[in-house]
Amino acid sequence: MDRRDFLKEAILLVGGAAALTALPGCSWQDAPYSMAADVKKRLERIGEIMIPRTKTFGASDVDAAGFVEKLIANWASKETRGKLLSLIGNPHLVALEKMDDAKATAALSEFDAAAYGKDNKDWKMLKELMMLGYFGSERYQTEIAKFELVPGRYDPCVKLEEEAA
C-alpha cells in the first residue's frame, strides 16, 4: 500500500466514523405494548384448556401464556399483534372464561375444528406459540424431557431403561 492509498483509506475511515455521529440515535417509534388484564386472563384460560394439568404440569404452571404475551409485545409486528389480539377477542374465546372445564374443552375443540376447516392461520399461530411456550419452558425441558445441555458429560456406556407408561 502506498502513501496515497493509505491517506484515502484513513480519510474514509475518519469520515465514516464522523458520519455515524450524524445518524439519529436508537429510539422507540411506538410506546411499549402492554396487554390488558382481561386479555391476559383469557390467554391463560386458553392455555389451561389446550394443555391442562394432568400427572404433569399444565400450561399455566410454566406460564406459557406469559411467553405468548411477551412475544406479542416484543416480537410481533403491529399487523400480527392486531390479528392475534382480534383472535383472542373472538366471542367464542371470550365465552370460555365463564364455562367449566368440560364445557370449555368441548367449545374450544369445536372452535379449533372450525378454524382448521377455514384454514385460520392466526389460530394456528396462536396454538404454535402456546405450544412453543410450554415445550420450550425450562421446567418442561428439565423435568419432563430431561434436557441436558450439549456437549454435556460423556458417558460411553449408558444403560437404556424403559419408561413406565
- The pLDDT, as a whole number, for residue 21 is 59
Higher pLDDT, 129 or 33: 129
pLDDT in tens, 7-42: 677 676 666 555 555 555 555 455 567 788 999 999
- Mean pLDDT score, 110-124: 90
Domain ranges for the chain? 37-47+61-144
- Mean pLDDT score, 135-148: 86
Instruction: Give a three-class secondary structure readout of 31-68.
Output: CCCCCCHHHHHHHHHHHHHHCCCCCCCCHHHCCHHHHH
Asked if the bond preceding 151 is cis, omega within 30° of 0, the reply is yes
| pLDDT category of residue 59 using cuts at 50, 70 and 90 | very high
- The pLDDT, as a whole number, for residue 15 is 65
- The pLDDT, as a whole number, for residue 135 is 94
| pLDDT category of residue 61 using cuts at 50, 70 and 90 | very high
- What's the pTM value of the predicted model, to 2 decimals? 0.69
pLDDT in tens, 67-115: 999 999 998 999 999 999 999 999 999 999 999 999 999 999 999 999 9
Using CB atoms within 10 Å of the CB of residue 60, give its burial: 0 to 12 exposed, 13 to 18 middle, 19+ buried: middle
